[in-house]
Structures are given as structure tokens and as C-alpha cells.
Amino acid sequence: ESASEKHQFDAEVPRLMNLIINSVYKNKEVFLRELISNASDALDKVRHEALVDSSIMEAKPELNISIRSYPEKNMLVIRDTGIGMTKEQLREHLGTIAKSGTAEYMKHLEKKGTEGGSESDVNELIGQFGVGFYSAFLVADKVSFATKHPSEAKQHVWTSTGGSDFAIYEDLPENDLGRGSAITLHFKEEDAHLLSSSKLKDLVEKHSSYISFPIYLWSATTETIEVPADEVQDSDKDQAADDLEEEAKEDQGKAEKEDTDADSDSDNDAKDEPEVEDEDDEDKDSNDADQPKTTTKTIEKEEWVQVNAQKPIWLRDPKTIITKEYNDFYQSFAKDTEDPLAYNHFKGEGKVNFRGIIFVPPKQPSDYLQSFQAMVNNVKLYVKRVFITEELGEFLPKYLNFVRVLVDAEDLPLNVSREMLQNTRELHAIKKTITRKAIDMFSQLAENDPEQYQKFLDNFGANIRLGINEDHRNQARLAKLLRFASSHADSGVSFADYVSRMKGGQKQIYYVAAPTLQEAKKSPYVETLLARGYEVLFLTEQLDEYSMQALREFDGKMLRNVAQSGLEFGDEDDETKAAISELKKEYDPLVQYLGEALSDHIERAVISNRLTKSPMAIAANQFGWSGTMERFMKAQTR
């Protein structure tokens, strides 16, 4: 055994650990989610590398995660047969914080801590960034990490009690893991309640159920066995049960014995690994007359039990999945603490076959998080259940950057590279389908749950408006999703509602934009239209006018901003037209005069039939921005 080498953490690490341990973040349970997710990442990596070099599988053919607690020792061991780490990687990955943005993130957290910022803000941040490996120190005051990488003959152990330093030493040969890692957490007394196998099972189910590698938990189980009725007292049969109990105890004892070896925390006795084969025995037919009479007896034992679902949720039939399952899945998938607003689980067929789930988060991320948005990837790509990447760059149109998507494709090669991915026809087809399915989901929400839909619009309405500008193919579909106030109702008016109420002979959809509903209602341009019995849409959202200009029409009806000049109603009779023409002549000198006197302020002065009570109004050019939009554009370009 080589001597243990001491290393100092990078300065940022103790700061991060301090924050995690002492401060605002109370949700200690996330440590398990983080460590399981690291194990799963390591398993993904080994599976990828094995595509090129299958020999790395030999030392450990199975890919799985196993979790075992030793309550009497306040200890938990999480083991994976993933890629492991070399000695150099141990020092680097578990001694520094590599992620960019972490320093700013910490500054923000520290500020929150001292200013007592809201817990949900902090949850959101930690959720998005992940607390990662160091979250082990939420519950443990000592952590050992034994690991074996296929490229190294030696196995190494990293160990730390938090503080400012850690040690690395070579592990004993008898602790050889074959491949992968075993992390041992020495729990703080106050967190010992998390060590019960039922609590661990709950946590895995809640936060890690979608992990696509088997997760085994060492659990107490009861089993009903059959014993011959006339031999109930017989020692043979009882012996069988006793044997099982004995075996369990022995296992436990072994672990304890190992624990006393101070330098070797890794839990790696061959017997402590889950067995991979299926040990389901055939059912015996107890009614069979030829069988001797039997009675049943319940025995308790401990064994490896797989705790995550056999099948990832996205491959299951949606009809068999309840909302709670989607909600739990969303929370672990998106690292959110709240349920999604909506989801759509579907099959894409045709050019490419794939399964997908799209989620709408409960709310728009905070401004602070949005400033990091480039770092938040919202599409996770799997190929045939194998995780490939979440770094697809700008995969979906920008306006959909708020949805969270999982895609599992059948027809892509497993070893596809990122560059290749960007250009495949298949991916293009996937992108198109997801965009459509996302819009379908919004429409369905609008139809089925107006209350939730209002929440959706409050949070993501601006995205829909941007989409109208950005996504011409889906423009008409997106337009149907908009809701406005109008002279008919103060909210919830869709274009379709408006059209259904249009007067006979009406050819245009009228709207006016204003900063508030009150101002829109009082707008001088609206008077005439209301007097003539037309409905007017009141646009009060900043991007409304912008999207109207992009849209231009709905269902063949032109969208008409009533604040712009050149407004004609098409219902004027000849008499009116003649009268207007007379008036124009009569007031021509005034128009001339105003045009010259105000030439610095207006383009031109005209006689208009748009006003009933107000003598005069300033209107925008038919092809220009209205005053409201101008104010908005100025604010944008500042």
C-alpha cells in the first residue's frame, strides 16, 4: 500500500461546500439523486467506449448501480460499474469545480444566503446547475471514493472530511472493483434517518426512477415459502429459512468487518454485488392432488432488489401511466421542485421512429437563471434507450427554449457524433415533429383547461408571440393560441371568437395597441368602430403589435391597426363618400396650414372619418410602427 498523498482543494471547492452544508439549502435528499446521476453518467461513458473497445467490458460485464446502507455504522455505499476514474482524474474532477459559471453562481448563492433570498430561487439554481458530487457533504462528514479505470492497473481511493483538503491513496488489491466506483458516505448523526432502506427506496423512486441502468437496493424483504403441512416441526424446512436469515446476517457481518478497516471503506466483497440472473421460480399449483399437503410460512431476509422501473417511462404505453408518474419523472428529469404545467407523450413515425415527451415547466425561469440560459440545454437525446447528448445546440426554434424534451430515436447509429447529429435528415424530421407536438400540446391545454392555459400564457405568451415571427410554417397554428382583451370581453378572446362575432360584410379584424387596457378602451380611434358596431381587439402585451405585423391576416381576414391612417370600413355608402369629399375640399386650407405649421412633428395632416367625439388625433402611418410599438422598440434597442 502506498502512502496517502494530501492535496488542497481548489479555492472554490470549500466555498461551495460551505454553501451547500451551512446555508439556505435544506433539501438534503438531493445528494442521492446527484450521486446516482454521476453513476449513470459513468455507465453511459463505459457503454460508449465499449463501442470502440469491447475489452473494457471484460472485467465487469454488467452495467448497474447498487446501493447499500449499514444503519448501525451510519454508512451508505453507492457502487457503479461505470468507467471509473484514473488517479489523475480523481485529483482533477474531485478537487476542482470545472463548470463555467460556477463562480458567479456561488456569488449569487452567497448573496442569497446573507440576504435571506427565497428558498425557491435557490432550489431553482441548484436544480439547474446541480450541486453535483459535493452534495455528498450535505449528509456525510466523511466521504471515500474508490475507483478503478480500465486504463489503469491500480485502484485508487479519494477521501475527504470536507474542510480544505483531500487525500488520495492506492487501494488494497483485495478491494479491487474490476471497473467502476464505490462511494462510501459516513453519515452525520442527524441524517441517519435517511439510511433506512424504505426511505432510500422512496428517494430513488422519486428522483431517479428514469435512470436506464438497473438500480439495486439491499433491502429487507419477506417471502412466503411453502412447507409440508405435516412437517411443520421438521427441522429440514425450518433450516432452509434459517439458512437464508443466516446468510443475510453473515453478509451484514462481512460489511461491518470491512468497515473496521479504516483505510478501506469501499464495499467490494463479491457477495455484496447484486446477482444479475433472474431467480423467479415457477409457481407451484397447490391444488395438485399429487403434491403432499403444504402450509405457508413467512420468512424475512435481505437481498438485492431492483428499485427503478424495468422500462423507462417514455417507452411505456401512455394509457398505463398516471399523471403523478409524469410529474415525478419531470421533476427528476428537469431537476425542478414543482410539477409541470403540461406534457405531451407521443410516438413519432415516418422518416424516423422515435418516442418523445415534451414538458412545459410550471413557470418561466427567473431573470437570473435566464442570464445563464445558454448553459441550459432543453433537449435530451437518447438512441435506443442509450443517452447520447443534451448538447444539441439550438435544436428547437428559439421561441420554444422553455420546454423540456426527451427524445429516444430508433434509427440513429449509437456512435453518432455531435457534428453528424446536427446535419442528419433524421434529426431534422425529429425537430419538426417536436415543434408540431409542442404546439398541439398548447392547443389541447387551451381547449381542456382554460385556467391552466391562462397560467401558460402569463408565463410563456411572449414566446408564442415571438414564434409567430420566427416560425412561418406554424404561424397560423400559433396565432390560434393567442388571447386578447377586446371591446367584447376583458380577456380570453381568441381570433376565432372574434371572427365568429364579425358583422355581415366585415372584412377586417380591428385592433388597437396601448400600454394598458384602460388606455386602449379610451383610445380615440376606437370610437367610430364601436359606434359602427365593430368589435376591437385591445392589445396590451408588448409583443402583440410585433406579432400582428408578422401575421398580417387570420383566416383570410386582414388585421387592421385602427391607429394607422388609411382606415376604410367598406360599408360607406355613396352619400357618405360624397359628404366626406365635400368636407375635404372645405377644410383643405386648414389641412395645408397644419401640415406646414407642424411639419417638424408630423408627416402630413388629413381629414378623417375615424373619429366621432374627439376633434383630432395623431395616427401612425399605415406602414409604420404605432406609438406604442415605437416606445417598445426604443426600450429594446437601448
Is residue 372 annotated as involved in ligand binding? no
Interacting stretch for ligand ADP, rule CB under 6 A, among 81-89, 530-538, 590-598, 599-607? 81-89
- Number of residues in contact with Mg ion under rule CB under 5 A: 2
Cβ–Cβ < 8 Å for 79, 180: yes
Q: Which is nearer to ligand ADP, 82 or 365 (CB)?
A: 82
DSSP secondary structure letters along 572-601: --HHHHHHHHHHHHHTHHHHHHHHHHTTTT
CA distance 435 to 432: 5
Give the footprint of ligand ADP on residues 89-108 (CB under 6 A): 93-94
**Sequence-separated (6 or more) residues with CB below 8 Å from residue 224:** 296, 297, 298
Convert residues 11-50 into a mask of x (bound to ligand ADP by CB under 6 A) and - (unbound).
-----------------------x---xx-xx--------
- Does 335 appear as a known binding residue? no
Interstrand relation of 342-348 and 215-228 (parallel, antiparallel or unpaired):
unpaired
Query: Is 129 labelled as part of a ligand binding site?
Result: yes
User: Residue 525: which residues within 8 A CB-CB, separation 6 or more?
Assistant: 512, 562, 563, 610, 611, 617, 619
Grid coordinates belonging to 289: 392432488
What one-character DSSP code corresponds to residue 564? B
Binder among 24, 36, 80, 441 for ligand ADP (CB under 6 A):
80
Residue 85's binding partner out of Mg ion, ligand ADP, none, with CB under 5 to 8 Å set by partner kind? ligand ADP
99 annotated as ligand-binding: yes
- Contact yes or no for 74/193 (Cβ under 8 A): no
Closest approach of Cβ 130 to Mg ion, in Å? 5
* Contacting range for Mg ion; rule: CB under 5 A; set: 125-133, 232-240, 268-276, 329-337: 125-133
Residue 251 carries which side chain, given as an amino acid letter? D
Residue 85 marked as a ligand binder: yes
CA distance 452 to 561: 30
For residue 84, what are the contacts with CB-CB under 8 A and spacing of at least 6?
Answer: 42, 147, 148, 149, 150, 177, 179, 180, 181
Among 181, 197, 208, 628, binds ligand ADP (CB under 6 A): 181
Considering only residues 130, 178, 492, 595, which one is a binding residue for ligand ADP as defined by CB under 6 A?
A: 130
For ligand ADP, which is the closer residue by CB, 112 or 149? 149
130 marked as part of a ligand binding site: yes
Query: Binding marks (x or -) toward Mg ion, 30..69, rule CB under 5 A?
Result: --------x-------------------------------
100 is in an annotated binding site: yes
Contact partner at residue 182 from ligand ADP, Mg ion, none, CB < 5 to 8 Å by partner kind: none
Residue placing its CB nearer to Mg ion in the complex, 39 or 168: 39
Q: Give the span between the Cα atoms of 205 and 294, in whole angstroms.
A: 37
Determine how many CB atoms are found less than 10 A away from the CB of residue 415: 12
CB 608 within 8 A of CB 566: no
Size (the chain), residues: 638
Of 367, 448, 434, 426, whose CA–CA distance to 406 is shortest? 434
**Binder of Mg ion out of 82, 132, 461, 467 (CB under 5 A):** 132
Closest separation between CB of residue 264 and Mg ion, Å?
A: 25
Give the binding site for ligand ADP (CB under 6 A).
Answer: 34, 38-39, 41-42, 80, 82-85, 93-94, 130, 132-133, 181
Binding-site residues for ATP sit at 34, 38, 80, 85, 99-101, 128-133, 418
Give the binding site for Mg ion (CB under 5 A).
Answer: 38, 132
